[in-house]
């Protein structure tokens, strides 16, 4: 090829590269050029012009007919979208977070359920639940105006289902219509609200008329006069922290809280002490409770409690005779056993109704402080059931408490294991 032909070919190549570069920067085009064409145009332009003129935004390319500013480099392309409203550089697909859809669950409610299902699911009647909710709603209702906040009644139903079934929080969350984390928060909120009102549901009366009704109720069982209550202790299994296991291990070699309770002839709980671990003896708990001080001071008038052989005999506490010989002593033991049996029935009904307290439902998976609140809350609910005429039978599959030892020196048990939550 001659020299004139070579010059024409070079001019044609230069004209083609220049036209491709102008097409790359043409802002009037609504469709972006293909990636392959961009790479060819840019590589050709870099051979003809300085790099700063190609890559710097706003630099006019040679022979730009409309004098429009250059757009940014294709490598810095900004993408706008619902997750990138300000136009930040788009992240690779494998680095983009997957947003979980917001699901509004159907909350647990009473309306639409038959009374049998209500009692089976929540252990209380509809009337009892609504009455309890009216008392607690000030502390349970949401403080926010959000349309999807958990209602106070749903929080209470969630806690009642946990108390009644003794199940883990995941199964409870499916019935309550909320997540497991919400179940945990709502349970803590319900317990806190109930602990503020525990003295309204569990109290030892001081009114002479009420005390006389208690005496009459016990008198009608086996003819024992001046009985103000039956006292005993029961063990509630829990899983303590590793450093506290020795203090909570009872004589049957499982970890528990030793709960002292006093009831009347109608199985109503009058007094409960739940903040002592399973290693403490029954007599030790009574000696360090306010109940013993009140009886010593004569706060409840004339009368006494009935206890088993685990307690020492006191002027205000009668225990059975260990070796009765006469007919009168035998009749006393028989009347004592029949009358004191109401506390055993109370524990049986309490654990049958609220399975979280029975070992058949497993040990409570909480710290000792929260277990104390759960025990007291269940005792409060037990009294609510009696107030609304709900009576439960003792289930046959309940695990009995270990047999009680005879009374021992109360000071032999270490006091530092007492749980202080109030």
How far is residue 258 CA from its own chain's centroid?
23
Query: Taking a C-beta distance cutoff of 8 angstroms, is the pair 373, 421 a contact?
Result: yes
How would you write the pLDDT of the chain (422 residues) with one tens digit per residue?
555 554 555 555 555 544 554 444 443 444 444 444 444 444 554 444 444 444 444 444 455 545 555 555 444 444 445 555 555 555 565 555 666 665 555 666 777 788 998 998 899 999 999 999 999 999 999 887 666 678 899 899 989 999 998 877 767 766 777 888 888 899 999 999 999 999 999 999 999 999 999 999 999 999 999 999 999 999 999 999 888 898 999 988 899 999 999 999 999 999 999 999 999 999 999 999 999 999 999 999 899 999 999 898 999 999 999 999 999 999 999 999 999 999 999 999 999 999 999 988 789 999 999 999 999 999 999 999 999 999 766 555 555 555 555 444 444 444 445 555 44
How far is residue 386 CA from its own chain's centroid?
26
All structural domains of the chain with their residue ranges: 3-72, 115-195, 202-417
Which residue matches tokens 């647990």?
108
pTM for this one? 0.71
User: How many CB atoms within 10 Å of residue 202?
Assistant: 19
Token couple for 73: 């480099």
Token couple for 345: 């029935």
């Amino acid at each position: 090829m001659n020299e004139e032909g070579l010059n024409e070919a070079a001019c044609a190549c230069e004209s083609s590269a220049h036209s491709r570069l102008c097409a790359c920067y043409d802002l009037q085009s609504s469709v972006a050029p293909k990636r392959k064409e961009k790479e060819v145009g840019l590589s050709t332009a870099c051979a003809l012009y300085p790099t700063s003129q190609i890559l710097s935004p706003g630099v006019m390319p040679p022979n730009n007919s409309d004098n429009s500013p250059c757009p940014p480099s294709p490598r810095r392309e900004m993408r706008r979208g619902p997750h990138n409203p300000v136009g930040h550089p788009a992240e690779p697909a494998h680095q983009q977070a997957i947003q979980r859809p917001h699901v509004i669950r159907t909350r647990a409610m009473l309306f639409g359920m038959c009374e049998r299902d209500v009692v089976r699911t929540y252990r209380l009647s509809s009337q009892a639940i609504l009455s309890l909710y009216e008392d607690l709603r000030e502390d349970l209702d949401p403080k926010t105006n959000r349309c999807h906040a958990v209602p106070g009644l749903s929080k209470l139903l969630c806690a009642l289902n946990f108390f009644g079934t003794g199940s883990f929080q995941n199964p409870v969350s499916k019935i309550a219509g909320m997540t497991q984390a919400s179940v945990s928060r709502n349970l803590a909120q319900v317990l806190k609200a109930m602990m503020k009102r525990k003295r309204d549901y569990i109290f030892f009366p001081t009114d002479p008329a009420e005390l006389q009704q208690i005496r009459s109720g016990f008198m009608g069982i086996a003819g024992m006069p001046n009985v103000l209550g039956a006292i005993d202790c029961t063990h509630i299994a829990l899983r303590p922290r590793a450093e506290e296991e020795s203090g909570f291990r009872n004589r049957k070699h499982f970890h528990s809280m030793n709960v002292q309770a006093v009831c009347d002839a109608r199985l109503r709980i009058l007094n409960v002490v739940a903040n002592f671990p399973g290693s403490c003896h029954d007599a030790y708990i009574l000696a360090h409770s306010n109940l013993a001080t009140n009886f010593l001071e004569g706060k409840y008038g004339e009368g006494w409690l009935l206890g088993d052989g685990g307690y020492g005999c006191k002027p205000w506490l009668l225990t059975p005779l260990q070796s009765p010989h006469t007919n009168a002593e035998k009749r006393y033991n028989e009347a004592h056993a029949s009358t004191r049996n109401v506390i055993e029935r109370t524990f049986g009904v309490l654990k049958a109704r609220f399975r979280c307290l029975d070992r058949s439902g497993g040990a409570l998976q909480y710290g000792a402080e929260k277990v104390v609140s759960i025990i007291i809350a269940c005792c409060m609910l037990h009294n609510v059931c009696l107030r609304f005429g709900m009576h439960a039978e003792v289930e046959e599959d309940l695990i009995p408490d270990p047999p009680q030892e005879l009374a021992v020196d109360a000071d032999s048990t270490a006091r530092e294991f007492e749980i202080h939550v109030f």
